[in-house]
Amino acid sequence: MSDPGVAVVIEDDADVRNLVVAVLQQSGFDVHAAATGRDGVEAARINQATVVTVDVGLPDIDGFEVLRRIRQSSDCYVIMLTSLGDELDTLTALQSGADDYLTKPFRPRELRARVAAMLRRPRGTPEVGADAAPVAASVAQVVTEVAPGRAAQGTKTIEHNRLVLSPDARTASVHGVELSLTRSEFDLLADLVQSGGVVRTKADLVRVVRGDYYAVDAYISDADERAIEVHIGNLRRKLSEDPKEPRWLQTIRGVGYRLAPKEF
């Protein structure tokens, strides 16, 4: 079994903390735990964490502040643990840069599946998009030149309305300026760009973000679909996109999203 790296669990409830630690240890992680936000931020920094789970309600600083501080020095995967039914916490976590969230109580199997799905699409590796459908030539143009210094010449990239996406290098840039995207944001953008203008439902995009855990016949909740709306909103903000005149992400009301037509 390959070494998945270091995990840090930031949780003040001892029972939940011990459960998460056990699940991650069983998955092969070297796990460090902290009961406060400040200790957790330091543990994530010192141990160069790969994955961090953060409880929203911590006794010193809240989980959103913990997330902000972690993001100042690390692009590790962050899963926020929120209270059951507290949708505001969930949406705030995603807007703040979390990669995923789980509501308490959760099943250990789901936590393992969420983490495994993230690690199958790690930042900076060629896994995302390897099995994706080819892009329609009338919608996006495949090119072989990438932004200087970002990837070796000859790496396949996709250009669409001045957006240049490299699924292999997991980079995206607009007018030569690289975008800072979370794992989930990049996966969604790559899926939509590579769809060739085919409409992707919110349920489709939930499965893109969540991986194999959400099989075709799996139940997808309203909260899952609203999380996709938040991710798309974050993408539009980072792309400086006007949703009324989209260049990249077009909303299909009541259904989902698709890649906007190619500009001529």
Please, where in the chain does CATH 1.10.10.10 lie? 141-259
Q: If one looks up domain 6-120 in CATH, what number appears?
A: 3.40.50.2300
pTM above the 0.75 mark? no
d(Cα 112, Cα 200) in Å, to the nearest integer?
26
CATH number attached to the domain at 141-259: 1.10.10.10
For CATH 3.40.50.2300, list the domain ranges present in the chain: 6-120
Specify the pairing of strand 51-55 against strand 6-10: parallel
| pLDDT of 159 above 90 | yes
Query: What is the mean pLDDT of the segment spanning 30-34?
Result: 97
pLDDT band at residue 153 using 50, 70 and 90 as cut-offs = very low
Q: CA 236 → CA 159, 243, 247, distances in Å?
A: 17, 7, 10
Residue 131 binned pLDDT confidence (cut-offs 50, 70, 90):
very low
pLDDT attached to residue 239: 94
pLDDT at 100: 85
Q: What pLDDT is attached to residue 218?
A: 62
Residue 111 has pLDDT above 80, yes or no: yes
User: Would you say residue 113 has pLDDT above 70?
Assistant: yes
Give the best-scoring range by mean pLDDT among 87-96, 220-229, 247-256. 247-256
